[in-house]
Amino acid sequence: MKRANERKPLIRTIYTADPSAHVFDGKIYIYPSHDFAHDCPDDDNGDQYIMKDYHVLSMEDLDSECVDNGLALSEDDVPWVSRQMWAPDCVKVDGKFYLVFPAKDHDGIFRIGVAVSDSPTGPFVPQKDYIQGSYSIDPAVLVDDDERIYCYYGGLWGGQLEMWQSGSFDENAHRPEGDEDALGPMFAEFNREMNAFITEPKHLEILDENGQKLKAKDEDRRYFEGPWMHKYNGKYYLSYSTGTTHYLCYAEGDRPDGPFTYKGRIMEPVLGWTTHHSIVEIAGEWYLFYHDCELSGGITHERCVKYTTLQIAKDGTIETIHPYE
């Protein structure tokens, strides 16, 4: 049975996107990016996504009203940030809530920062500097069953992931193409204080059915941005956006750092250039949180957050969602 709020914009008073959904202490919290309406044209660098702050959304349950809890963190609060606070995530560790977010530093390079609060809705107090060794966008954090804390991140094009192939930032770096191996997302482990990586960041491998790395030309399956990690029956499921072809896909692995084998599509394209998601279990059922551009009639940088039921079989297979059927 379809829920009252399912596949409907959860908030209509502001534009929201890239929802990271969690259940903390029995209540649903959603950590989206905050789109601002403006007339800037779209480009491949994502300059149209100007995003200046974060608001935390919350719901008592999936059929209740979604509440905007107001300003949680602004670019004006973070000394190292110059602009573009893009898709965040939040994690609870030792009773505190850590907002993990990307933004450009004063050199125009995307970094990952962390801010902390005693409340899941903030306000969040930022750490003085970004996480050393971090770069690119779209952090998603998994606290594993053994309490180790893993960060998955990275996005191509405007997300600058391919600009770090040499080990340092090069805005003119070659972009993998054709039969070259596609770039996977980044993986690193946080310390307990959430103020440093304790492992060297590395690219994750996404393999095809023959155990070969996905190729750059395989735009229907290769990674582009928006990683998310969930566990199901002891397996790790890396899901992500293909960007240019607008699919949400997933791959399965036995370890948090892979390798991962491509399994299929989670969602067909939505209205807008692409989507960005999270997967969460709520009261024993699984749900996909995502965004589209329904509120703005298709303006790619004016989006709205939604959710829908996710059907997962016992073997971990995810049924493909057709968002407008």
Catalytic positions, written as ranges: 18, 225
Residue 35, Cβ density class (10 Å: 0-12 exposed, 13-18 middle, ≥19 buried)? buried
What's the CA gap between 254 and 241, in Å, rounded?
A: 21
> CA end-to-end span of the chain, whole Å?
14
What's the CA gap between 118 and 124, in Å, rounded?
A: 8
